[in-house]
Amino acid sequence: MVRSGGRRWYGQVLAAALGVTAVAAMASFWNAQVGSAEGRPPVKSSAKPHARKAAPVSAEIVHASDGGARGVNITIDDGPDPVWTPRVLEVLRDNGVKATFCMVGTQARAHPDLVKAVVAAGHRLCDHTVSHDVTMDHKSKAYQSQQILDAERMITEASGGVRPLYYRAPGGAFTPYSRHLAASHGMRPLGWNVDTKDFELPGTNTIVATVKDEISNGPTLLFHDAGGDRSETVAALEEVLPWLKEQGYAFGFPVR
């Protein structure tokens, strides 16, 4: 049997708990109303919200640009890299160009500050799998799922909650399954039209010439900011971006 003093103590604790709950609920309601009325966001709760799955997009591989008939998409693969990503970001900033960064999950997890810097500069994120396996199209569905969805999680966590909007298969190793899986998570499969082959270190002049010779193939250009010495890529971007502007091209993002 609980003594009367114990009952009073228990009642006080219960009342206090209920009071806190009621106050919290009222505060949440009031914050929402005030934020809506005055144009300010409501005060956020410290509790983590449940993860929200992105709305599905088309599973067809996209090449088109939202920049219009003369739009081009600059895409940067395999990073982020602590040496070369900042250099690429600097060139893009100096030319007023936004790009899509196709990130490898392990690289994003290792360099979250760079992922956040990419997002803060107004660029978009793309899932480029966990380990950049160019033989993914010969692997099981379970393996493809792990590579795509784990990378999506790594990139989203590294960015502070910004999700990748595209999925690019390493080496173009798409499968119908991987395309539909990515699309069901809100990531449009992303191809390319101009492969600069900068990863082969052909020389800055060759990279620039490839862009000039092949830009008529389509709007999406492929460069890299990781996987080795990317000084040629940086130098090529410094030349290519002003040239594209001179030719009347506008920079955009891949169509979603």
**How much of the chain is in helix, strand and coil states, percent to nearest 5?**
50, 15, 35
Q: If pLDDT is split at 50, 70 and 90, which confidence band does 242 have?
A: very high
Query: How much is the pLDDT for 177?
Result: 98
Instruction: State the chain's mean pLDDT as an integer.
Output: 85
Mean pLDDT on 40-57 = 50
Give the SS3 label for residue 66: coil
What is the share, in percent, of the chain residues with pLDDT greater than 70?
79
Q: If pLDDT is split at 50, 70 and 90, which confidence band does 52 have?
A: low
CA 26 to chain centre: 36
Q: If pLDDT is split at 50, 70 and 90, which confidence band does 51 have?
A: very low
Query: How much is the pLDDT for 12?
Result: 39
Residue type, 243: W
Cα separation, 171 vs 135, in Å, equals 8
DSSP for 69-110 reads TTEEEEEEES---TTHHHHHHHHHHHTT---EEEE-HHHHHH
pLDDT in tens, 162-186: 999 999 999 999 999 999 999 999 9
Q: If pLDDT is split at 50, 70 and 90, which confidence band does 134 have?
A: very high
With 80 as the cut, is the pLDDT of residue 20 above it? Answer: no
With 60 as the cut, is the pLDDT of residue 21 above it? Answer: no
* Per-domain residue ranges of the chain: 1-44, 71-252
Cα separation, 86 vs 243, in Å, equals 22
Angle, helix 141-159 to helix 112-120, in steps of 10 degrees: 70
What is the share, in percent, of the chain residues with pLDDT greater than 90?
78
Query: How much is the pLDDT for 38?
Result: 34
pLDDT in tens, 138-166: 999 999 999 999 999 999 999 999 999 99
Burial class (CB in 10 A: 0-12, 13-18, 19+), 4: exposed
Mean pLDDT on 40-68 = 68
With 60 as the cut, is the pLDDT of residue 27 above it? Answer: no
Residue 125 φ/ψ, nearest 5 degrees: -105, 150
Cα separation, 182 vs 186, in Å, equals 7
Cα separation, 76 vs 92, in Å, equals 11
- CATH number for the region 71-252 comes to 3.20.20.370
Annotated catalytic sites, by residue? 77, 224
Q: 100 versus 42: which is more confidently predicted?
A: 100
Per-residue tokens: 15: 């009342």
Please answer whether residues 88 and 236 qualify as being in contact, where contact means their C-beta atoms are separated by less than 8 angstroms: no
Q: What is the CA radius of gyration of the chain?
A: 24
With 70 as the cut, is the pLDDT of residue 256 above it? Answer: yes
